[in-house]
Amino acid sequence: MKTLFKTTLPAAAVPLLMALGATGTDPIAAEASAAASPDRPQAFAVCAGCHSTEPGHMRLGPSLAGVAGRNAGTLPGYTYSEALKASGLTWNAATLDKWLTSPQKTVPGTKMPFMGISDPARRKQVVDYLLTLK
């Protein structure tokens, strides 16, 4: 049993650690970042690992600064999927709510690797916060 723990368990953790390193996602840093701003809801921590709220600052995903009212897939400096660029979406409370429920169902072919926020209250907190970003 000791051998199984010493060799198999750490080996099983390698793909997870590699995936987190490859995406630049640090769940602890994202959580701390979300808690740092009094206006930023805790539910936003899941977004903060890939998205900045600073204008022009791209991470794995585009900056979310000024997202309200923007046509999906149009922020200069970020390479969007063809599916999102062709979606015809404009980001508002309704489209953000639908998107954050399930990006892949909202825009099949999107490259956003996110399963969605299933809890409506947490999703609303994120949508409300996104609508305040300038």
Spans in the chain with pLDDT lower than 70: 1-36
CA-based nearest residue to 133, from 33, 71, 57, 54: 54
Domains of the chain as residue ranges with CATH: 2-130 (1.10.760.10)
The pLDDT value recorded for residue 78 is: 97
Predicted structure pTM score: 0.74
Q: Across-strand partners of 71? A: 90
Q: 129 near 40, Cβ under 8 Å?
A: yes
The pLDDT value recorded for residue 37 is: 75
